[in-house]
Amino acid sequence: MSKPIIISGIQPTGNLHIGNYLGAVKNWVELQNSTTQELFIFIADLHALTGTQTAEERRQQILVTAAELIAAGIDPKKTTFFIQSHVPEHSELAWIFNTITPVAELERMTQFKDKSEHQDKNINSGLLTYPVLQAADILLYKATKVPIGQDQVQHLELTRDIARWFNNRYGSPNGGTGEYFKEVKPLLTNTPRVMSLLEPTKKMSKSLGAGHVIELADEPDIILNKIKKAVTANAGGAGAPGVTNLLNLLKQFGSKKNYGEFTEAEKDGTIRYGELKEKLATAVSNYFSDFRKKRAELMENPQALRELLRSGAEQARKRASKTLAEIYSLVGLR
Ligand code: TRP
């Protein structure tokens, strides 16, 4: 018996930031040390086609994302690490899933509605069928667990629905159990959501603007500058979202002692935001100093990076092509 598979993906639409890191990547790196499960991580370049990057931007960003994930700790020796479009079975299975997914279910997706608002000049059908491709990503490997952020839970529920629709319609060709796909479950981290530095009631996201996020690749002076501009509390109010966010970050990246001191000071009302910001900036800079070095090294040799990715895709395809052959047969195409 092969081990249960855990899979997750990330769109290559921007440099990794600390929200991606704490919400997803850090968790992946921990999961890859499991001896009882197998981890698959991929770069969702086909999903990125639904966005607005130019071809050149996209080509570059795919490579950067690969380098950054490795620099952040994804180890291609432990994890099957690849680029989605290098495994054409993802698109092939997505097409089949399109034919069993009601349009109305896709129109309900919160992310589709949000994106339609944000890119109202480019509401392409790929945006609508985005979660169908995501279901294909997961079910192609018959994965049973998917580490994702809260914002992807609705897509994962749709994946479960698609698995069920498929099972009902095609799952028992010879009167079998009708359970071709097993149940898929989300794995959520309990790290608090990382909020924007400048609008701390919104989730940290590059789409808000560069000053809102701290990228893992940011140099120490940039980190300090961004954190200095972070919104804290206007009238010294305790528990203001900006202050809570900075304290949460200090908890993740700083020492226990520092975190303890600043939390106490916040309660007493003696906290000095300038000091908190300096401590936090140092902590974040130190935490990612190896990352910055590793990233630069990897980007110096893109050929080696491409080779790693090619071999990851080869590994992934073994499993993908097997599933797809079974599915073609189940639906009557073979
Ligand atoms: N939609 C996911 C995101 O934006 C990325 C993604 C694509 C994904 N396919 C996936 C995540 C499959 C988990 C599993 O974060």
CA of 130 to the centre of ligand 1 (A): 9
44: nearest Cα among 9, 6, 81, 5: 9
Domain total in the chain: 2
Ligand 1 centroid – CA 229 distance (Å): 31
Tens of pLDDT along the chain (334 residues) come to: 689 999 999 999 999 999 999 999 999 999 999 999 999 999 999 999 999 999 999 999 999 999 999 999 999 999 999 999 999 999 999 999 999 999 999 999 999 999 999 888 999 999 999 999 999 999 999 999 999 988 999 999 999 999 999 999 999 877 666 789 999 999 998 888 999 999 999 999 988 999 999 999 999 999 999 999 999 976 556 679 999 999 999 999 999 999 999 999 999 999 999 999 999 999 999 999 999 999 999 999 999 999 999 999 999 999 999 999 999 999 999 9
Q: Report helix, strand or coil for 83.
A: strand
Residue 203: C-alpha distances to residues 151, 168, 206, 292 (Å): 10, 38, 10, 24
DSSP state of 140: T
Residues 60 and 182 in one domain: yes
Ligand 1 atom closest to the CA of 47, numbered from 1? 7
Is residue 172 domain-shared with residue 236, that is, in the same domain? no
Q: Could you tell me if residue 85 is inside a domain?
A: yes
Query: What local confidence, expressed as pLDDT, does residue 114 receive?
Result: 93
pLDDT in the model for residue 275: 97
**243, 165: one domain:** no
pLDDT at 207: 87
| Ligand 1 mean position, distance from CA 133 (Å) | 9
CA distances to 129, 243, 267, 283 from 263, in Å? 45, 10, 6, 16
Q: Which of helix, strand or coil describes residue 251?
A: helix
Between the CA of 39 and the centroid of ligand 1 the distance, in Å, is: 14
Considering the domain architecture, whether residues 235 and 158 belong to the same structural domain is answered as no
For residues 220 and 230, give the distance between their C-alpha atoms in angstroms, rounded to a whole number. 15
Q: How many other C-beta atoms lie within 10 A of the C-beta of residue 82? A: 26
Ligand 1 contact, 146 CB (< 6 A) = yes
Whether 206 is catalytic is yes
Question: For position 312, which CATH number holds?
Answer: 3.40.50.620
Tokens of 238: 């305790």
Q: Which atom of ligand 1 is nearest to the CA of 133?
A: 9
Nearest protein CA to atom 6 of ligand 1, as residue:
9
Same domain, 250 and 310: no
One domain, residues 19 and 157: yes
Domain-embedded: residue 296: no
Q: Check which CATH number belongs to the domain holding 263 and give it.
A: 1.10.240.10
Q: What is the structure's pLDDT at 237?
A: 60
Inside any domain, residue 275: yes
Q: Is residue 75 part of a domain?
A: yes
175, 241: one domain: no
Residues 79 and 141 both lie in one domain: yes
Instruction: Say if residue 16 is in the same domain as residue 108.
Output: yes
In a domain, 201, yes or no: no
Choosing from 26, 78, 202, 206, the catalytic residue is 206
Q: Is residue 134 part of a domain?
A: yes
Predicted confidence (pLDDT) per residue in 204-230, tens digit = 998 899 999 999 999 999 999 999 999
In terms of domains, do 168 and 281 share one? no
Cβ of 159 closer than 6 Å to ligand 1, yes or no, is no
Answer whether 0.85 is exceeded by the pTM.
yes
Question: Quick check: is 297 in a domain?
Answer: no
Question: Active-site residue 115, yes or no?
Answer: yes
Cβ-contact 277, 229 below 8 angstroms: no
Q: Are 44 and 128 contained in the same domain?
A: yes
Buried residues in 181-194 as b, exposed as e (16+ CB within 10 A) = beebebebbebebb
Q: Following DSSP, what letter does each residue of 301-312 receive, concatenated?
A: -HHHHHHHHHHH
Give residue 254's domain range: 218-287
Confirm or reject: Cβ of 65 under 6 Å from ligand 1.
Answer: no
Task: State yes or no: is 229 an active-site residue.
Answer: no
Instruction: Identify which of 229, 266, 228 has the alpha carbon closest to the alpha carbon of residue 247.
Output: 266
- Helix runs in 213-301, H state only: 220-228, 241-253, 256-268, 273-287, 289-300
Do 184 and 230 lie in one domain? The reply is no
Helix (H, G, I), strand (E, B) or coil at 6: strand
Q: Is residue 256 part of a domain?
A: yes
C-alpha distance from residue 229 to each of 14, 223, 299 (Å) = 22, 10, 30
Could you tell me the sign of the dihedral formed by the alpha carbons of 70, 221, 228, 248, in that order?
positive
In degrees and rounded to multiples of 5, residue 245 shows phi and psi of -60, -45
